[in-house]
Amino acid sequence: MLPEGESASTGPLTAEEIARYVVTAAVWAPSVHNTQPWRFTADGQQISLYADPGRQLRVADPDGREMMISCGAALFTARLALRSLDLVPETCVLPDPGQPLLVARVSWPRRAARTEFEQQLFGQVRQRRTHRGGFDPAPLPGGLLAGLREGAARYGATLRIIADDGRRAMLAAAVAEAERAQRADSERAAELARWAAAPGSARSDGVPPQSYPARAEHTSPDFPGRDYAHGHGWGLPPLSTAPWPRSAGIVALLTTTGDRPANWVNAGQGLQQILLIAAAFGAAVALHTQPLESARLRESIRTRLADGAYPQLVLRFGTVIQAEASIRRPPDDVLSASGSDDSDTGGR
Ligand SMILES: Cc1cc2nc3c(=O)[nH]c(=O)nc-3n(C[C@H](O)[C@H](O)[C@H](O)COP(=O)(O)O)c2cc1C
């Protein structure tokens, strides 16, 4: 798949065209509350990816962990876009300790034919959507979980399936406890509301009502979703007539052995690889980071469910017909030439 309006068949692309093609794909990475906390600069055969602190969730994510995971997902997508052009990305993650917002530099010094697998994943970049709700009873496609584990491991992360009923219930209870506390916390609720606009909004960021159910889809055990509609009843009509509670799916934690910005960026790369593999297999994925935004609950999950590794994401995998839609800022809003105004400052 090529991003709309692009064609690789019209002859060799200039470095500028390649950068635009790459960023056009990269913006479709997932990000917390769809904040899209990134910007890119292009300089010849090199793209720099910066975290955008103006889009960081100051209340929910004061350390920028989720911001860096989001940027890692964009980095993976950018690299995959290069592969779709038969270019081999050379990547340096956090190359300059003096510029902590410079997430990565990517260049493309060589060519090599893309693989069928890379092309399949790239084909999912625009199709994949975050799912919010329950799953159908159908099992996951064979071989998927092994592929997902490998995808995470390639980036130094571990996908831990939480299969035991007691441990699933423990994780669900942590999600529910965090969700309750966040709804009752006016500062958190106000921050979430800033990233969840009303129906009909012209915004190109945040979580739109066409991406979550109007009526919470309870699962067993229950993993409550975020309160994007904050009491307005916005959201999609019910998609399924299947009896409730619906399946919570296969529940997993994505963990890392360290908890530094480099671990977060790589967890984001692993996350996007996982999401695209699942999409290529026809599986849907729901994400829950509510309990990981509480130091106490995160520590409890780390010690009780993750063998001391650092939990970065809670995921649920399953099969379901998806109707969610999403939005993104256009590439021109996030890509500038190196040396142009504010392109090299690493922040705003
Ligand atoms: C670090 C991170 C944390 C996220 N946490 C949640 C979450 O707690 N609940 C949720 O429904 N989606 C969560 N998401 C998914 C985003 O809301 C989603 O990627 C964004 O709204 C864009 O939608 P899309 O993934 O369908 O393109 C998270 C994504 C990332 C990268």
pLDDT digit string (tens) for 302-316? 999 999 999 999 999
Quick check: 334 pLDDT over 60? yes
Residue 341 has a pLDDT of: 55
226 lines ligand 1 (CB under 6 A): yes
Task: Tally the C-alpha atoms within 13 A of residue 64's C-alpha that lie toward its C-beta.
Answer: 20
**For residue 14, what are its two tokens?**
């200039």
The tens digit of pLDDT for each residue in 55-104 reads 999 999 999 999 999 999 999 999 999 999 999 999 999 999 999 999 99
pLDDT at 339 over 80: no
The answer, yes or no, to whether any atom of ligand 1 lies below 6 A from the CB of 318, is no
* Predicted model pTM: 0.95
User: What is the distance in A from the centroid of ligand 1 to the CA of 60?
Assistant: 13
Using most ligand atoms within 8 A of CB, pick from 130, 292, 324 the residue to mutate for ligand 1.
130
Q: Give the list of residues 6+ apart from residue 303 with CB closer than 8 angstroms, or none.
A: none
Alpha-carbon distance of 194 to 202, in angstroms, equals 14
Beta bridge partners of 236: 213
Q: What integer best gives the mean pLDDT of the chain? A: 94
* Residue 29 CB less than 6 A away from ligand 1: no
Q: Does residue 204 have a pLDDT over 70?
A: yes
Beta bridge partners of 97: none
Other beta carbons within 10 angstroms of residue 159's beta carbon come to: 21
